[in-house]
Amino acid sequence: MQPHIHPLGDQGLLLDWGNRLDPGIAQQVQACWQRLQALHLPGVLDLVPAYSSLALLFDLDYLLKNYPQELPYALVKSWVEPVLVASSTHALATSSRNLDIPVCFEVPHALDLAELAAQKRLSPAAFIQQYCQTRYQVYMIGFLPGFAYLGTLDDLLATPRKTTPRSAIPAGSVGIAGAQTGIYPLDSPGGWQIIGRCPWRLFTPANDPPVRLQMGDWVQFYPISSSEFMAQNEHPGT
């Protein structure tokens, strides 16, 4: 499937595969993103892949200076189009990483777990087991540095966001929002249903890259106890 291309003002363009949450489309976005990254197109500042779209932001100064005869949008579009044809035929030429991530589902980390499990008529243990048996895909990074949107959650577990967001959620908290799940990389306000906490730091500014999860990674969670959490805890000041 070919994406629709349209301008993002005078700053770039959006490749848009339609407003659909579909693992096949996500795979195309990812393949396209990786091909574009590898090309190092001149004047391209940022490539932002998401569920079913890819934003490309360019340096208008650079393009005007080096290609004064061209409309920057049309020029960059003409660079991108051939890549799209190639990425839909080549499925995934990529190395998807598999990560196993520890999560402590015990008090005091599992702020909403008991309530969610009760809602679903499950025991907390059954909820955790169900949650941990799926391998989730990183569909997108956004909202906060290193915040990975993972999917897709089993229908049984999917739960809307809290009606009133919390003003502070500690870094590492694992949450559910609709059919998505994710880990807060920083202390932040937020409305996701919190079911546990990961001892890992997902965002470490001094590292290269500064974030632990990337688009296209596959993640499976496994439960750990409070004492294991303490032993593995990388969060400062806790």
Partner 1 sequence: MSILVLNKGLQTTVQDLGRTGYAHFGINRAGAMDPLALQVGNFLVGNPGGTVALEMCFPAPTLLFLAPALIALSGADFGAQIEGQNLPFHTPIWVDAGMELHFRYKQAGQYAYLSIQGGLDIPPWLNSRSTNLKAQWGGWQGRALLKGDVLPLAKSWPERIGRGLTIAKYHTLLREFYAPETPIRFVPGQHYPQLLPESRKALHAQAWRISNASDRMGYRLEGEGLTLSSNESLLSAGLTRGSIQLPPAGQPIVLMADHQTTGGYPLLGQVIQADWARLAQLGPGRSFYLQAVELAEAVSLYAEQGMFLRRLRAGCALGRLDRANTESKQRGIVFQIIFWVPARPFLGRGGQRPGARFPF
Residues binding partner 1 (CB under 8 A): 6-12, 14, 16, 19-21, 33, 45-55, 57, 59-61, 64, 71-73, 140-147, 149, 185-186, 203, 205, 209-211, 214-215
- State in angstroms the smallest separation of the CB of 70 from partner 1: 10
- State in angstroms the smallest separation of the CB of 31 from partner 1: 15
Q: Which is nearer to partner 1, 149 or 221 (CB)?
A: 149
**Antiparallel, parallel or unpaired: β 53-58 and 12-16:** antiparallel
Sign of CA dihedral 201, 205, 207, 209: positive
Distance CA 90, CA 38 (A): 15
In the chain, the N- to C-terminal Cα span, in Å, equals 48
Going by the DSSP 8-state scheme, the letter that residue 170 receives in this structure is -
Q: Which is nearer to partner 1, 56 or 195 (CB)?
A: 56
- State in angstroms the smallest separation of the CB of 17 from partner 1: 10
- State in angstroms the smallest separation of the CB of 141 from partner 1: 5
Distance CA 180, CA 77 (A): 32
The residue with tokens 């577990």 is 157
Q: Which is nearer to partner 1, 118 or 209 (CB)?
A: 209
Token pair of 126 as six digits: 């059954």
**Contact predicate 141/148, CB 8 Å:** yes
Q: Which is nearer to partner 1, 128 or 180 (CB)?
A: 180
Q: Which is nearer to partner 1, 10 or 154 (CB)?
A: 10
- State in angstroms the smallest separation of the CB of 213 from partner 1: 9
- State in angstroms the smallest separation of the CB of 5 from partner 1: 11
**Antiparallel, parallel or unpaired: β 166-169 and 188-190:** antiparallel
Q: Which is nearer to partner 1, 127 or 184 (CB)?
A: 184
Phi then psi dihedrals of residue 29, to 5 deg: -60, -45
Distance CA 52, CA 101 (A): 25
